[in-house]
Amino acid sequence: MSILWIVAIVLTVFLLLLLVMLGLRKINFDAIHHNFLELVDEVNGKVIRRGFAVRPRLVGTYKGQEFSVSITTDKSEGKRLYYIGVSMRGKSQFAFSILDNASIRDLEIVPERRERMRPVFDDRYSVEVDRKDQLNWLKIDKIEQAINGVHPFGYVLVGRSNMILERAVENIFDNTKAEVLRPLLEGLSNLHKAAS
């Protein structure tokens, strides 16, 4: 067998593997797209997908607030994690963050920063503000109720006009179903009420 045949066979096998991987990616994103479609009518939304094997994104309006759900992925330590990002428009008096304490435990937090933080939700999360006096303005009980609807998550950033939540999951299919996303949207809507 000549070298050209060997090269042709190797390239053919490589091309077939590439096509199979592309097909599997498309099947995965089709399943997520289908999950998003289950929620579209309820939230006056639409699914945006700009290509053959491109991640879908859900945009819409929930209780009068514009929102967007997007997905990213990362592979670390041999394990693939998917990140569901939910952003929602909403006004707040000031910016604050809600951080998962498990993710910040290993960080060395300076005392000045620690003074601007308050543990919430049975010490699973911490609320952080820009100035210490802002902690007194927060409706902590309402924030904890809102956290109950979106728990678990990595962080929630609440700005003056927008909120962003990120949740890390291993099983993207189950975590993009309507019965999982609906409480996230409700929780962010409640957080908006608590922050305004």
- DSSP per residue over 84-121, as a string? EEEEEE---SS-EEEEEHHHHTTS---HHHHTTEEEET
Give the per-residue pLDDT at 164: 94
**Section 180-195 average pLDDT:** 88
Give the per-residue pLDDT at 89: 92
b/e 61-98 (16+ beta carbons within 10 angstroms → b): ebeebebbbebeeeeeeeeeebebebbbbbebeebbbb
Among residues 86, 94, 151, 165, which one has the least CA distance to residue 128? 94
Residue spans per domain, the chain:
3-195
Higher pLDDT, 29 or 46: 46
**Does residue 135 have a pLDDT over 70?**
yes
pTM over cut 0.75: yes
